[in-house]
Amino acid sequence: MTKKSSMDFQSASRLATLISRSFAEDFFRLLVIYEDISASESASILDLHIKTAQDFLEGLVSEGVVERKEVSQGKRPHYRYKMVDPKIDIRVNLNEIPKKEIVEDYRDLEIREMKNNRAVFTSGSGTDMISSITLITGEGRKKKERKINITDRQGKFLFYLPFPTSKHEKIKHIYKKSDLDRKFMPEILDLVDILLDYKVIEALGR
C-alpha cells in the first residue's frame, strides 16, 4: 500500500523513525528482493538481533507498509513478511495539526501579569513592543533561565498586558489594543498558554 494520502503527524513521525534506522535501507532491500521473509531470516542475513528485526517488521506492519502471514512448518508457526507496495510516500498536511480553537469563551479569559513572577520582559528599542521574555525557574545551583524570542505580533500583544497591580483584562480587549489582524490569534493564544504554565501571567477562574 503506497502512502499516497496525507498522514497524521504521529504516524508520519513513527514511519520516519523506522526509515531512519541505520539498517533500514538494507532491510528494505531484502523486503523488495524476497517474495516474503521471516524475522529470523532477515536477522541472520543482516547480522541483527532477532528482536531488533522483529520490532522493525512489526513497526512496518503497524504503519501499513508491510503485511504478515502466519505459516506453519512442523509445530512451529511463525510470521512471514512482505512489502505491500515498494513505494512509500510520507505526506503530512500540516493544516490538520490540531490548533487551539479561537472560541469566544477563551478570548473572554481575563488575564494580567502575575505578581513576583520572576520573568524578565525585554522591550524593543524605541517601539511599543516586547522583543523577548526570559523565564527563570529554580533557585541557587538549580536556577535555570529560558529565553523566548517572541514574534512581533506576540510582542505587540504583551506590550498591552495589564501589570500585576492593574485589573485583569479580557484577551480579546488586549488583542484589540495591539491592533493585530484576527489571523494572528492562534500564535497569541499559544504564548498565553506558555506564560500561564510558567505562572508569568494569571487568569481569573484558573
pLDDT tens figures, 52-66: 999 999 999 999 999
Comparison of pLDDT for 114 and 88, the residue scoring more: 114
Q: How many residues does the chain have?
A: 206
Q: Distance between CA 22 and CA 47 in Å, rounded?
A: 13
Find cell 520490532 and name the residue: 55
The pLDDT of 19-34, averaged and rounded, is: 94
**104 shares its domain with 195:** yes
Domain assignment of residue 46, given as a range: 9-83
CB 66 within 8 A of CB 54: no
Residue 92 lies in a domain: no
Domain boundary among 57, 83, 109: 83
Q: Which of 22, 48, 83 is the last residue of a domain?
A: 83
Question: Does a structural domain hold residue 72?
Answer: yes
Query: What's this model's pTM, rounded to 2 decimal places?
Result: 0.61
Q: Are 120 and 184 in a shared domain? A: yes
In a domain, residue 137? The reply is yes
Which residues sit opposite 135 in a β-bridge?
146
Q: Are residues 105 and 178 in the same domain?
A: yes
The H-assigned helical ranges of the chain are 9-19, 24-33, 39-46, 50-62, 104-107, 152-159, 171-177, 185-197
**Residue 173 within any structural domain of the chain:** yes
**Closest to 178 measured CA to CA, from 151, 160, 163, 162:** 160
94 domain residue, yes or no:
no
Model pLDDT, residue 102: 53
Whether 111 and 199 map to the same domain: the answer is: yes
- Split at pLDDT 50, 70, 90, the class of 127 is confident
Q: Are residues 180 and 122 in the same domain?
A: yes
Residues 125 and 171 in one domain: yes
Long-range pairs, 95-102, Cβ under 8 A, ≥24: 96/6, 96/8, 96/9, 97/9, 99/186, 100/186, 100/189, 100/190, 100/193, 102/182, 102/185, 102/186, 102/189
Lowest mean pLDDT among 37-51, 91-105, 156-170: 91-105
Number of domains in the chain: 2
Q: Across the chain, what does the average pLDDT equal?
A: 88
In this prediction, residue 2 carries a pLDDT of 41
Of the pLDDT bands very low, low, confident and very high (cuts 50, 70, 90), residue 23 is very high
Asked whether residue 108 carries a pLDDT value surpassing 60, the answer given is: yes
Average pLDDT over residues 15-30: 94
Q: Are residues 78 and 118 in the same domain?
A: no
Judge if 77 and 128 occupy the same domain.
no
Q: pLDDT class for 88, splitting at 50, 70, 90?
A: confident
Q: Decide if 23 is inside a domain.
A: yes
Q: Quick check: is 91 in a domain? A: no
